[in-house]
Amino acid sequence: MTETTENITAEKKAVFPQEKMENSGPVPENQTQVNTESYQLNNLTPFAESIIQVSGEKLNNCYQCGKCTAGCPITYAMDILPHHIIKMVQLGMEEKVLTSKTIWLCAACETCGTRCPNEIMLSPIMDALRQRALNSKYKNKIGEKATAVFHREFLSSIKSHGRVYELMMMAMSIMKSGNLINFILKFEWVSYLKLLFAVLPKGKMSLFPHNIKKKKEFKNIFKKLNNAQKV
């Protein structure tokens, strides 16, 4: 142990004497006993309950410390901050949450989940909200249609071939994104076309799909998807 850590430990002992902490005796009757359970929200809204069930994340444990939001790389583009999403789910604010951009902009980087003091992972919660949004009466008010379309096109590409057919998947995602007009008018296509001519000769993007042998076995897994997610 170095001298400084020794000093710190000594200081700590003075402030929090171990013995007293461990042998503090029975809790006086008039004192409320604090345990982690009391931080939990008891009356869960049905919306919150279903999101907890689908995501497997105990978002009722969230005490709004904001650590998830502090480390999230995408907050600048989000319309609702990650910890606010959690609170709004707790409160059952279904429409606001399901039509938000945030649930689609989460990059699933898991920075939040890694740091949350209550072991809540936000990315599975965002996933559950995406599924719920596509299955709800708000399905025509999706906050970020382009991203929803991308995921759909990705899945439909792998369903057909067993592996992703990058070229077609990218083309279809752009075509169906709902931003096609902007894509054309803002000359976005110029940079994509340049890129295409840069990578094609290098053999980095195949012009044709690669099909796996056991396509049927692979396709069967897609039966697990519920109706709104079917590709």
Partner 1 sequence: MKVSYYPGCSLSGTGKEYGESTVAALKILGTEAVELNDWSCCGASSAHSAGKEFAVELAARNLLIAQDAGLDDFVIPCSACFQRTKVAEYALKNHPESYPDLHYKGGLDVQDLLSFVYNKIGLEAIKKVVKKELNGLKAVAYYGCQSLRHPEVTGAKNYENPTQMDEILKVLGADVLTWSYKTDCCGGSLGISQPDILRTLVGKLYDKALEVGAECIVTCCPLCMANLDMYQDAISKKFNKQYNMPVFYFTELIALAAGEKDAVKWFKSHVADSVKLLKEKKLI
Q: How far is 96 from 85, CA to CA, in rounded Å?
A: 9
Q: How far is 154 from 145, CA to CA, in rounded Å?
A: 14
What would you measure as the largest C-alpha separation in the chain, in angstroms? Answer: 79
Which 8-state DSSP code applies to residue 222? G
Distance of CA 192 to the CA centre of its chain: 28
Burial of residue 145 (CB within 10 Å: 0-12, 13-18, 19+) is middle
Q: What binding mask, one character per residue, do residues 52-91 give for partner 1 by CB under 8 A, x or -?
A: --xxx----------------xx-xx--------------
Q: What binding mask, one character per residue, do residues 201-220 give for partner 1 by CB under 8 A, x or -?
A: -xxxxx---x-xxx--xx--
Closest distance between ligand SF4 and the C-beta of residue 82, in Å? 4
Contact status: 227 vs partner 1 (CB under 8 A): no
Residue 64: name its binding partner from partner 1, ligand SF4, none (Cβ under 5 to 8 Å by kind). Answer: ligand SF4
Contact status: 113 vs partner 1 (CB under 8 A): yes
Sign of CA dihedral 57, 59, 63, 65: positive
Q: Which is nearer to ligand SF4, 78 or 172 (CB)?
A: 78
Residue 214: name its binding partner from partner 1, ligand SF4, none (Cβ under 5 to 8 Å by kind). Answer: partner 1
Contact 132, 54 (CB under 8 A): yes
Distance of CA 14 to the CA centre of its chain: 43
Other CB atoms closer than 10 Å to residue 85's CB: what's the count? 27
Chain positions contacting ligand SF4, by CB under 6 A: 62-68, 71-72, 74, 82-83, 86, 106-112, 116-118, 120, 122-123
Q: Which is nearer to ligand SF4, 94 or 127 (CB)?
A: 127
Closest distance between ligand SF4 and the C-beta of residue 177, in Å? 20
SS (H, E, C) 98-134: HCCCHHHHCCCCCHHHHHCCCCCCHHHHHHHHHHHHH
Contact status: 25 vs partner 1 (CB under 8 A): no
Binding site for partner 1 (CB under 8 A): 54-56, 73-74, 76-77, 105, 107-111, 113-114, 121, 123-124, 127-128, 130-131, 144, 146-147, 149-152, 154-155, 158, 162-164, 166, 170, 173-174, 177, 188, 191, 194-195, 198-199, 202-206, 210, 212-214, 217-218, 221-222, 224-226, 229
